Each structure stands twice: as C-alpha cells, then as structure tokens.
A and B are shown apart, each in its own frame.
Chain A
Amino acid sequence: MMAGRDPAAVSLIHRIGAGPKLLTLAVAGTVLVIVGQWWWLALALAVILALYRFAGLSFAQAYKQIRPLLWILVILFAFQVYWESWNYAALVVLRIAALVLLAALVTLTTRTDALISAVETGLHPLKPLGVDPAKVGLAFSLALRFIPVIAAQAREIRDAQRARGLGTNPIALALPLVLRTLRMAGDVADAIEARSPYSDDDELPPRFAVDIDKSHSRKSCPDNEPPLETSSI
C-alpha cells in the first residue's frame, strides 16, 4: 500500500532508478513463481526481509505490507494442507508473501512519478501497436492512489451493513462497493480531463515562462529525488 515518502531516506536501494527496480522485480517475480521447493522460497523471503533492513525499513513496516493479506494466507495454508500437503501449502504461502513484500519494497523506496515514468518509458516501443504509455502510467498511478480509498469505502459499507444487522454477508458488501466504485470512476475520469489541460506537443504558455528566472534560485525537485517510508491501509 502506498505510504508517505521519507525525504531523508537515502539507502542504496532508494538510489537505484525505478526502471532497474521494476526490471529486477519482474525477473525476481518470475523466479519466485518457477521455484518449486518451499525451502528456496523461505530463503528468498529471508533475503527480502534483509533488503528491508538494508533500505532502512523496519520489520514492523514489512509486517504492515503483509498484514492485510494475513488471514487469506492462513486460510490458504489450511486449505492446501487439507487438500495437498503441508509442503505444498508452505510453498504457496511463502511464494505469495515473498512476491507481495518484494513489490512493496519497490514502492516504498521509489517515487511514484519515477515509477510511472519508468513504466511509460518501458512501454514506449509499443506505441506503434496502439499502446498509449501515458494512459498505462496513469492507470498505474490510479491503482496505487485508489486502493486505500476503496478500502475505506469497504469499511464504511461494512459498518453500515452491520448497523442494519446484515452481518458479514459478502454480497451486501460487494454490490454497493462495486456500484460506488463505478460511480467514482466516472468522477475521476472527469477530474483527470479537467486537471490535465496540456499535451506533450504544447508550447510553454507565457503564464509559465515568467517564472523561469525566479525558479533558478529555488529548491529543485529532481526526478530521482528520494523515497517512501511506511505503508498501511
């Protein structure tokens, strides 16, 4: 989950560019899916946790990333032990935990706009095939932005349903949540249109040109400026 950025955090992991990090995440994620022995995945998990410490992040912060999934992992483990074997159950649960923690490490140590720029750059070669890198990058950002908003809405609906005595009926939660999210999507689309009046081929309007001299003496905001701190829902 996206969290605040700690401007003082400057570990080696924070300084690595967003592109190499995403590439490493893709390769490491593929390896984690291919590996078939639970002990290798346990080792990978230990390495990932060590990377958290190396990035100046605490184990508590790592736990926060996995906490929302905890009960799902427990149910999954029990289910797999019952139907398969405890080895296979450990394999599945460790794989998911390692993938989630590794992905969270990337978002915790990288600026969102740098991640989006990297996604856009990576997708640029697909432009002739009709892929719009800017739109994919924006979708990526929206996913990070709206996870906590939708989670808050789910909590709100659950509380309202409880107050009406509907208990934990999943349909009573899912239906209003989907409807609310769809309505919100329309509003967000309008807001994006209203808030982004400039295109890549636009010339610099005179209203911005007057500030160039003044801004030289002010603090800059480079694209690779440091990182993120904690994360929670």
Chain B
Amino acid sequence: MTKFEVRDVHMAFDAFEALKGIDLTLTEKRIGIVGSNGSGKSTFARLLNGLLVPTQGKVLVDGLDTAKDGKAVRRKVGFVFQNPDNQIVFPIVEEDVAFGLKGLKLPAAQRGALVEEVLDRYNLGPFRYHPSHALSGGQKQLLALAGVLITRPDCVVFDEPTTLLDLRNARRVANVIKDLEETVIIVTHDLKLLEDFDRVIVFDHGKVIADDEPGPALAHYVERMT
C-alpha cells in the first residue's frame, strides 16, 4: 500500500494561496477528496504525484520527496486528468497506450503483450487501430486510464474522471475504478462514487474541514454546501 505523508503543505499561485497548511497521512486503499470549485482539491491531487511541488512544506510518497524525486514518484503514482482529450497524445489508440513504456528497454514482443493486455482489460481491443479522437467520451477516459495503468503504478490519482461524461459512461468508468487493484485517490463531485470508500477528505478554501469515513464526511460536506 502506498503511503503519502503531507507535511505542513502550503501552495500559492502568485498572491492566491490554494492550500493553507495541510497535514495528512494517507495509507488507505480507497480515498475520496471532495470540495467546492476552487477549494484546493485538484491542487492537492497534483501535489501527490509531483506535478506540482509545494511552495512550503513537504509531500513524501513511500519516503520519496516529490520535490527531489519527481520521476521516481510518478512511477509509483499515476494520474488521470479530468479531460481525457488533453491526456491522449498519440493519434492511434494502441500507440497512445504504448507511450507510457517509451524509454523502457523492453523487447518488442513484451511491449506488444503489455499493450494488448491493458487494451483487453478495458474492452478497447476492438479499437486498437482506431483514431483516438474518434472514440466516445467514456472510451477516451478508459484509454487515458489504460495509458496510465500500463506503467504499472502502485496508486492512481483521478481528477474528476466522470465530470465530462454522460450518466452511462460515468457509471462505466466508476465501475472500472471500483475494480482496480491499485490504491485509488479520487477527486470528484460524484458523491455516490465514494460510498464504499475507506476515507473521504473534504476541502474548503484551501483547508481540510472534514476527514472521516464516507458517511460522516459526506454528510458534513453536503450540510456545508446547502
């Protein structure tokens, strides 16, 4: 299980302070992060795999400092963005999935097998030669996930993965997330997705205002928002 240690983290963008003194230790397998728009939850998610480094404080992933060991951290922690269109970088489905293996000295046969395995896992096999821009929203999100999982991270961080999807595709992606063996940290507005999670953290104005099991944490969030 991946261990995240967030120590007195502040994150500022010019004059705007997005996170104000966050202290958390994350060890659970399923963690949800909720909060209103601008509450700092997406910034927090980006700190977890070193896409952002804190302006003050430290984020450690299994003892690795995200500010010093960014690449090593990103091998452990994959990241799925809200808009899959911005995450898919190759024009053909199978080529995009293989992008995560670029740089690894893998035999062509093994590379092909890994791509095939992950495409089959998400029912993308029939689309392997298709142009990635022609996939449906749900398929694009699954392709984005496949592109991350092929690097075999221990943990996957999702930033609002169902926000841009219709109900059917959102459920489909949610079911895939539920079945993942990897540790999952998910930023979402889809509260139903978090019902059977181990822990839910609520952000507001750059601070943690609730950190509990889903029931009480979500109740606190809903009360605060209404």
Contacts and interface: CB of A to CB of B under 8 A. Distances in A.
Contacts of B78: 194
Contact of B89 (A7, A195, A215): A195
Contacts of B71: 197, 199
A152 to B, nearest CB: 7
Contacts of B151: 195, 197-198
B57 interface: no
Contacts of B99: 195-196
A148 B91 CA distance: 9
Contacts of B109: 215-216, 218, 220-221
Interface in A111-145: 111-113, 138, 141-142, 144-145
Nearest to A217: B113
Interface in B164-191: none
A207 B112 CA distance: 16
A149 interface: yes
Contacts of B152: 205, 207-208
Interface string B110-121: 111111100000
B4 interface: no
B132 A145 contact: yes
Interface string B88-129: 111110110011111111111111111110000000000001
Q: What's the interface size class on B, roughly? A: 35 or more
B88 A145 contact: yes
Interface string B60-92: 000000000001001100110101011111111
Contact of A194 (B79, B104, B130): B79
A208 B110 contact: yes
Contacts of A193: 51, 74
Given A195-B87, A215-B109, A221-B112, A113 B98 contact: yes
Given A202-B104, A219-B116, A112 B111 contact: no
A214 B90 CA distance: 27
B148 interface: yes
Contacts of A221: 94, 98, 108-109, 111-112, 115-116
B219 interface: no
Nearest to B157: A194
28 contacts: A2-B91, A3-B131, A7-B129, A141-B91, A142-B89, A187-B81, A187-B86, A193-B74, A195-B89, A195-B151, A196-B99, A197-B71, A198-B100, A198-B104, A199-B103, A202-B104, A204-B106, A211-B113, A215-B110, A215-B112, A218-B112, A219-B112, A219-B113, A221-B94, A221-B98, A221-B115, A222-B108, A222-B112
